[in-house]
Chains A and B, each alone.
Chain A
């Protein structure tokens, strides 16, 4: 299976993961600072900033776009409970 590297820059830790893994599945295990509320793409608590590899995450759904807008996301912010890792990227809590 294709592998990808995700780096959590707030704690400077990198994890090798199978492509398709959701960020939430990694960040909690490694103890990164991204936090979660509803865990289903509704509340915006898990907003993260993608520093590199924006295109290496799955596209946001219409619903995710809406939640990001409502929570005044800036450019290159995503929901960590929704985004799946397709290739190398670097993220931190928004």
Chain B
């Protein structure tokens, strides 16, 4: 435990209207939201969240880093006023423009019109769309910054790190050089409301930390890795995210955890000379199931391709999502029922928003009775999810014949060829593409 922790611990509780010093000259001026249960539609929280905003005082002015959700602006301004005057504010940094952090920005800029706003290069078009000024107001002025840019507060320097897509295109981190404090935005945050505020004094929040990563950061693993390589070399005394506990006790543990969570452990388990194809299907009378088996047999004829076949009826979605994250290709089989693919297929597809599908191959197949819409709908959805669909989907009317099972095997071989690149070097007419 460090020295600050041993000090009078009651002085470290969040109190209404009072800022809390988290490092010399650095104050937390955020808000607690203990009654929130659902965040951004996709996240649940059993004890609410916090909106962390910070104030940094230098010899030549004050910087405010991030604000709070609009409904919590009063808390934010009261805490701000307890440690600074509006006319002292020279710098406002928004690390992320999502409304939970930009909610009090318009009012802050009205109260501190002399302050300059610093946002990432990718944030400009969002700023305009989020903070549409009234007709009688002038538009917000701002300066865009990227890695290497810095702003001085006299004796202290804020440096910017360009860390896009964590979890919006506009996200960045800000580093207070002299104190080794990283204002990380949503990165390293979690929805966990605890008025003890510091990680070493809060209750165990590891589950909330991992859960937040799994739903907010996981789709952006490659961006997480890039951001970590910018952050890891920095001397770090404190990581100050925009939600949940402030990480002052061994802050590097949380960087390490992000690295662990972003590493592809599954892929490393398999020898990477193989490409992996996963086939999932649903089948009521076994027709789509027979297609699935024939597609597997066809694909498996190709050296270097490893195929696994799963009946969606027999499993939970979460482990399937993990499997898909480390696979190279995904084939989905569904009969057409009432003009649509069946719900377990859509459930699986809508669970894939938490992983990065870019570059993975997709394929669809299924048995049908008279219209057969399911296959096309699945293909469209796969494209919508940014998968490549190299082989046109395969539909078979009712019970597959031997000849039609041959078509399935050929479909499997074609998919395997696209996976291994064996189909390279061809020329096609646009009109011949499905």
Bound-state CA distance A25–B125 (Å) is 27
> Contact at A12–B434, with CB atoms within 8 Å?
no
Whether a CB of chain A sits under 8 angstroms from the CB of B122 is yes
Bound-state CA distance A11–B425 (Å) is 8
Q: Which of B121, B386, B425, B426 contacts A36 (CB 8 A)?
A: B386
Q: Which of B388, B390, B391, B430 contacts A21 (CB 8 A)?
A: B430
Interface residues on A, range: 20 to 34
Whether a CB of chain B sits under 8 angstroms from the CB of A28 is yes
> Contact at B418–A16, with CB atoms within 8 Å?
no
Bound-state CA distance A37–B430 (Å) is 23
Contact flags A29-50 to B (C-beta < 8 A → 1, else 0): 1111101100000000000000
> Contact at B424–A70, with CB atoms within 8 Å?
no
> Contact at B421–A12, with CB atoms within 8 Å?
yes
Whether a CB of chain B sits under 8 angstroms from the CB of A60 is no
Whether a CB of chain A sits under 8 angstroms from the CB of B82 is no
Bound-state CA distance A46–B368 (Å) is 34
> Contact at A13–B430, with CB atoms within 8 Å?
no
Indicate the member of B122, B361, B433 with the most A CB atoms within 10 Å. B433
Chain A interface SS verdict (over half): mixed
> Given the interface contacts A35-B386, A70-B122, does A30 sit within 8 Å of B428 by beta carbon?
yes
Whether a CB of chain A sits under 8 angstroms from the CB of B358 is yes
> Contact at A33–B428, with CB atoms within 8 Å?
no
Chain A residues near B134: list those with CB within 8 A: none
Chain A residues near B429: list those with CB within 8 A: 15-16
A residues with a Cβ closer than 8 A to B are 5, 11-18, 21, 25-26, 28-33, 35-36, 70-72
B residues with a Cβ closer than 8 A to A are 121-122, 124-125, 358-359, 361, 383, 386, 388-391, 418, 421, 423-430, 433-434
Identify the 4 closest CB pairs spanning chains A and B, nearest first.
A31-B390, A12-B424, A29-B433, A31-B388
